[in-house]
Structure 1
Amino acid sequence: MPIIYRIAASIFLLLTTIPFVNGQIFEHPKQQLINADSLRAEYDKAPYFGLYKDNYFIFGTSLNHKPSKENTNVKFQVSIQQKLTKSTLPGGTYLYLYYTQKVFWNVLEESLPMKDLNFNPGIGIAKPLFHKGRYIGKFSFQIEHESNGRDSIQSRSWNKISFGGNILLENNWLIHAKFWIPIVDGENNKDLLKYKGIFQIGTQFMTNDNRWKFGLLLVKRKDWKPNFNIIGEIKYRFSRKADWSIFLQYYNGYGEDLLNYKMFKSQLRAGIVITPPMFSDY
């Protein structure tokens, strides 16, 4: 367990030193949309290591049960990507290696146990999108694996072929969507899609000074009913030079972690988040 702590801490500290993309700092979406040619050149440079999804450390408790040591915990996520190609592939795409790790840490219980660790490596291609000389987002295709690294009856795992996209609307709105072809191979989670879902859609609004961000993500569970896992987020950055923000996250639904994916949760947590310079993937 101490080894896990050191690895997570080292990666988290490393990520705090990367407030840029390929040497270019982006303060606001307006700056991202100015020079498509320079952005294309940046994509073509040497392999680049950086942030993929949000990297955060948050603490909170349950809203649908009386707060206790069991349902009050720390949730943190480390997410990185590595571009594997020095130049464009056919179709103007790039090959990436992805890795995301999400941890649920019951810091109020004796011995501070980490209740569940979810590992999500993947490989895929991404295509940046330009319109009238402006960078507006990207499409991606990935092959992903997700598991909690346990054995016996606590083992959870599945694979998916996923298709996703992020599109910037004007300067303040981002919309994103992702759907997947699942391959559920875990013996103890055959009904995983009923809880983890079959596709997701979301949006994010940013203020003009890029200090406030408001996000909403809906994950559709597998049936014909209008049921969703809902994630709402608020981020506040103290200054435009800061590379981290105050973070509030609300989770309502199933499948927040793999071990207890059948358990309904209504959780509110707060902490800090480090976001990718342009926009986060989901």
Structure 2
Amino acid sequence: MRFITILLIIFAISVPDMRGQIVNITPEGETGTVNSDSIRQAFDSGPFFGLYKDNYFIFGPPVGQKIRKDNTNIKFQISIAQRLTKTTLPGGTYLFLFYTQKCFWNVLENSMPMTDLNFNPGIGLTKPLFSQDRYIGKVSLILEHESNGRDSIWSRSWERLSLAANIFIDNNLMVHGKVWIPIVDGKHNRDILHYSGIYQVGTQFISNNRRFTGSVILTKRAGWKFFDYNTIIEFGYRFSKRDNQYFFLQYYNGYGEGMLDYNRFHSMLRVGICIKPQFFSDY
């Protein structure tokens, strides 16, 4: 399993981002004006395979605790997507598959154990949104599974039917939201909604020169406490305008960071390398 995971890391590093800055699709027609049909045609002619969420490899300690070998680790994520159709399905939608894998690796301990390995495959139906002859975002209906691949009392799993939206405010700012209907089939994580949440909202910023990026993601845990959120804050600096590799910092505060210890609080600060889609990421 560790060998397969390392191969996935190498694969993700070698895959260039092929989605492009789709918010800037503005092909000209014969009359010199832009029309929605030409934008949709340019969208459909784009690559069908590419990155989905951020792909990163980061390392760091907890915040507010004594730093030890067993609580300082590597966290990495591999995420890819394959579009199956053009926007020819009913309502101008398209179908896609995605796969995300997240791992926590205690490299400072003896034998360097991978303490938690999470699998998140899914299928989605997406409708691109156009306004005034511009691509402004998308709405998706997503069916996804998440589990840690273990058995007995360490098994964790659930399914979600999610409605998600990404909206581009302008070329620098995107807001996103996602709400789900959960199907908790894992015997040992029945209370997962109180830790991993019932919906999420967030925003992502990218500078004009495409070198700096930042994001905030808030996931609301089930319950009546208004400020009961898991929080992720991220910053990235792009090494080169020609590449999509970033120096990356991520701060995680809350529960549900991994499936195995979903009900344990974590406050972690990690830094490393991130491979991003050229414009905005999916969440």
Q: With the length of structure 2 as denominator, give the TM-score of the two structures.
A: 0.92
- Is 1:257 aligned to residue 227 of structure 2? no
Any idea what SS the aligned residue of 1:12 has?
A: helix
Q: Which of residues 17, 20, 24 in structure 2 aligns to 1:19?
A: 17
Conserved? CA contact 2:17–2:51, under 8 Å: no
Q: Which residue of 1 aligns with 2:32?
A: none
With over 3 angstroms needed to count, the CA separation of the structure-2 counterparts of 1:188 and 1:77, relative to structure 1, is: same
Structure 1 segments, 4+ long, off by >6 Å, are none
With over 3 angstroms needed to count, the CA separation of the structure-2 counterparts of 1:46 and 1:165, relative to structure 1, is: closer
* C-alpha distance in 1 between matches for 2:103 and 2:270: 14
Any idea what SS the aligned residue of 1:62 has?
A: coil
Conserved? CA contact 2:13–2:275, under 8 Å: no
Q: Which amino acid aligns with 2:254?
A: G
Matches within 5 A, 1:124-273: 124-226=124-226, 227-273=228-274
Root-mean-square deviation (Å):
1.7
**1:12 to partner: Cα distance:** 2.1
Deviations 1:201-228 (A, max 9, x none): 0011221112111110000000010210
Any idea what SS the aligned residue of 2:61 has?
A: strand
Q: Which amino acid aligns with 1:108?
A: L
Q: With the length of structure 1 as denominator, give the TM-score of the two structures.
A: 0.92
**1:173 to partner: Cα distance:** 1.3
Q: Which amino acid aligns with 2:24?
A: Q
Q: How many residue pairs end up in the alignment?
A: 274
**1:161 to partner: Cα distance:** 0.1
Q: Which residue of 2 aligns with 1:44?
A: 44
Any idea what SS the aligned residue of 1:40 has?
A: helix
Conserved? CA contact 1:11–1:78, under 8 Å: no
Q: Which amino acid aligns with 2:131?
A: H
Conserved? CA contact 2:77–2:103, under 8 Å: yes
Structure 2 regions of 5+ residues with no counterpart? Answer: 28-35
With over 3 angstroms needed to count, the CA separation of the structure-2 counterparts of 1:202 and 1:87, relative to structure 1, is: closer
Conserved? CA contact 2:147–2:259, under 8 Å: yes
* C-alpha distance in 1 between matches for 2:232 and 2:279: 20
* C-alpha distance in 2 between matches for 1:229 and 1:212: 24
Quote the sequence identity (%). 55
Q: Which residue of 1 aligns with 2:31?
A: none
Deviations 1:169-216 (A, max 9, x none): 122211000000000010000000000000000011221112111110
